[in-house]
Amino acid sequence: MDRFDARSSRPERSAEPGPTFVRRHGGSRIGLRPSGMTLVGAALLASASALAWPAYAQQTLNVATAGDQNMVDYVKDYLGPMFEKTHPGVKVNAVGTGPGDAGSQKIYEKLDAQKKGGAAKSDFDVIVIHQKAAGAMVKEGLLERYTDKIPTGALATRDTAKNALGAEVSGYVMPMFHSQTAIAYNADMVKNPPNSYPELVEWVKKNPKQFGYNGIKGGMSGVAFVAGWVAAFGGDGAKLEKGPYDPNDKAKWDKALADLKEFNKNAVITPGNAGTLDMLNRGEIAMGPVWVDMFYTWMADGKLPPNMKLKLVSPGMPGQPMYYAVPAKANEKLAQEFVALATSPEVQAEGIVKRFNWYPGIDAKNLEGKLDQAAWKKLFADISPEDLQSKGKPFPIAPYFNDILEAYERKVAN
């Protein structure tokens, strides 16, 4: 069930989120360090606003974040100080609950226990959670409906803002970022990359052992490739994303999976998400599915050849957002202001896109003009915002997702 654990338990990734974050963004961090002049300005502003908003005096805003340590650092070192500056007297307290769905699960358990215990006030004011937990929390009434009360609420219109793996979450969540999988390829070795799954199949036939992916046990980029394959060849792709679930559907995938087994004979099975990138780097394969944020991070670190490019093949490949949500009985007003800041085009541009190489949570078109040309071009050079909108798919709903994995084990890997 715990699908995101597979991703976050990648040893390469979780081993050093902190250092990578600092090293990678060493340059852009300088921009955040206020100069002497702005410090004075900020101090003046702070004292002035302290007079203006006495209501904020000595409050704490508790932000609980599922995910790797770099997500906690993001709130603690970047968002928190920014929010405190405009809200004097407020202290932002960031808490990490651990990577993967397990981290979201801990937040869920805490809120659930508080609700059952009849607590007057929630311990968390803002939470950052995965899709699966968001669905459950909305269903059990643990969250506050808030997105129509904040100015940025209308900026996120992608279907992930309304639907979390089949659960209706409209109004309860704001996407913090979108993470996306795509096919990375070496433009020197591949002049005309395939545009779709069927074209990819043809390409692999003609170029045996030049395409690599990590199966389903080595991390989520391979899982995403397989989920995309079943959506492309297994019949009704939209039903996998929206439901309703029908346990008999998996019988319809037999042909698609038999073809995948055939496909695998000419593909290389790599050891993990980073394993695929490693092999691309050494020129051992020319193409493979990757996480876009990892891809750009590796590019920035010089760990991939400069002529690597990305392609989002049709009908589409999965990605996932993380959500900002506000629990019931939280410090509602402050929490909403915090999320409004975090999802403002400026912060999304500077924090999410430039610092993390993630796709923005709000619609990409709102960032135009907020992001310097270089950063904009970098993120959308290979995959246009329109492509992202039409071919960036959610993962299948949980029961289909498990069926796909097990069907792969049974029919393809066996």
Partner 1 sequence: MPRPSPLGLLLVAPALALVAALFLYPLGFSLVAAFTAEGQPTLRHFEKAFELYATDIRFTIFIVLFSTVLIALISIAIAGVLTLSETPWLIATLRWLYRWPLFIPFIVAAQCMRTFLAKNGLMNNTLVAAGVLEPLQAQSFLDWRGIVITFVWKQVPFVTLMLAGAMASLDRATIEAGRNLGASRLRVLVELVLPQVSQTLLVGLVLSFVTMLSVLSVPMMVAGSQPTMLTVDMAFRINAYGDYATANALGVISYAMTAVVAWIYLRHQVRREAEA
**223 within 8 A of 229, measured Cβ to Cβ:** no
Q: Is the peptide bond before 315 cis (omega within 30 degrees of 0)?
A: yes
Amino acid making up residue 44: L
Q: In the complex, what is the shortest distance from the CB of residue 16 to partner 1, in angstroms, rounded to a whole number?
A: 12
Angstrom distance (rounded) from CA 9 to CA 100: 8
Binding residue for partner 1 (CB under 8 A) from 104, 270, 297, 357?
A: 270
If one asks whether residue 188 binds partner 1 (CB under 8 A), the answer comes out as no
Please provide the DSSP assignment of 234-295 as one string. Answer: SS-HHHHHH----GGGGGGGHHHHHHHHHHHHTEEEPSSHHHHHHHHHTTS-SEEEEEHHHH
Angstrom distance (rounded) from CA 293 to CA 178: 10
Binding residue for partner 1 (CB under 8 A) from 216, 294, 312, 352?
A: 216
Q: In the complex, what is the shortest distance from the CB of residue 61 to partner 1, in angstroms, rounded to a whole number?
A: 33
Amino acid making up residue 53: W
Q: In the complex, what is the shortest distance from the CB of residue 181 to partner 1, in angstroms, rounded to a whole number?
A: 17
User: Of 167 and 216, which CB lies nearer to partner 1 in the complex structure?
Assistant: 216
User: Of 115 and 217, which CB lies nearer to partner 1 in the complex structure?
Assistant: 217
Binding residue for partner 1 (CB under 8 A) from 81, 283, 386, 390?
A: 283
Angstrom distance (rounded) from CA 200 to CA 317: 13
Amino acid making up residue 209: K
Looking only at residues 379 through 408 of this chain, which bind partner 1 when binding is defined by CB under 8 A?
402, 405-406
If one asks whether residue 1 binds partner 1 (CB under 8 A), the answer comes out as yes
Binding residue for partner 1 (CB under 8 A) from 80, 135, 166, 272?
A: 272
If one asks whether residue 3 binds partner 1 (CB under 8 A), the answer comes out as yes
If one asks whether residue 410 binds partner 1 (CB under 8 A), the answer comes out as yes
Q: How many CB atoms lie within 10 A of CB 177?
A: 26
Residue 58 Rama label (left phi>0; alpha psi -120 to 50; beta): left
Q: In the complex, what is the shortest distance from the CB of residue 239 to partner 1, in angstroms, rounded to a whole number?
A: 21
Q: Per-residue x/- marks for partner 1, 346-385, CB under 8 A?
A: ----------------------------------------
Question: Of 129, 288, 130, 271, whose CA–CA distance to 224 is shortest?
Answer: 288
Binding residue for partner 1 (CB under 8 A) from 194, 237, 275, 392?
A: 275
| List of residues contacting partner 1 (CB under 8 A) | 1-3, 5-6, 9, 11, 214-218, 264, 268-272, 275, 278-279, 282-284, 402, 405-406, 409-410, 412-414
